[in-house]
Structure 1
């Protein structure tokens, strides 16, 4: 039955969950679970398993939105840690399955504040490990250009939102006392001064798999990139 095969993938939908304990007794191991199913695996040879591991990362985005008056779009979250209690921060969130970084950033800003934006570029990203559920975390800071001004908050998760002068935002203690936040703001300010250009999004198709994807990079020719974020 398994001639020439080394690994077995067993996908059990919710309505077949009674087979999970049977599979475990037969040597299957948990791989990952989603809302509608659990995936299990069995490695046949007496050697280290070569099946790919479960996803190791989650991806978050933050939107740095600044208007012509040098005001930053900021929010206060309803539920946050004590270190951010009362602080005004950038709109942030996780991207959805099959969602681009740039569209995830504009969506999160729209959902939290009601403000429409256009993606400019990725100005920086952070890589951290052992975060939620022991997964690694990629967090992308995106420069966004506002195309509307009216604020309408998502009251389920946002306490308040406002346009805050950039200077006032940067002076907040949680930024001044944290090296990472301070560095992020330094980069964003350099971006506004056109002393730094971030990574812009380009659609490409690879001959390797024939799939369309997005490649983020800093173009080398000045006429090919718009470094004016305002």
Structure 2
């Protein structure tokens, strides 16, 4: 650790730093899924796969929903599109062309190079599917490798255990819980914070690519290596 002329510890220099840009006009193409800016054109497909009978639990930890009609869902999508702190994306299945999920860029701090992946909603056919992990991989690669962000964040309701497990599986590091951080749907949310740095991503990216490779899956689609094991080893 270095010190200044007063003997106080200070951080490393960030040479040549300049503010980053927002991820706009996104089209991130993977093997299983393609991510594009969410529009109202995606509402019918999104409604079909996330608002059917029995889909209510998908929306428990989302800021709104579940929705009973395409009109209600369309109003929610329109609100997200107009939110200056949110850049919502549709996750399109490459085989079907349908919206199998959504995710968003949130709270972009372009001056300091920090951005959050959040508002993640996977349809039942997307859950436990390679495309879910590929979506996070595509967003992380775009934010850090292509746009030059230094910090990628993941936040969730502290009680949302599946999201907390996913954060660790994807290689995010738990940084603490903000108590009484949010009121949504008339209830309190303590928010668990996770993040990965650009340096950590450079170690994690090969782990993602190894897990996503066809060689990692047998003829029945079963994984040979777990992503959680690969990311933990990358960060060890």
Q: Same fold per TM (> 0.5)?
A: no
TM-score (norm 1): 0.23
Q: 1 or 2 for the larger relative contact order (CA 8 Å, sep ≥6)? A: 1
More strand per residue: 1 or 2? 1
TM-score (norm 2): 0.23
Structure number with greater Rg is: 1
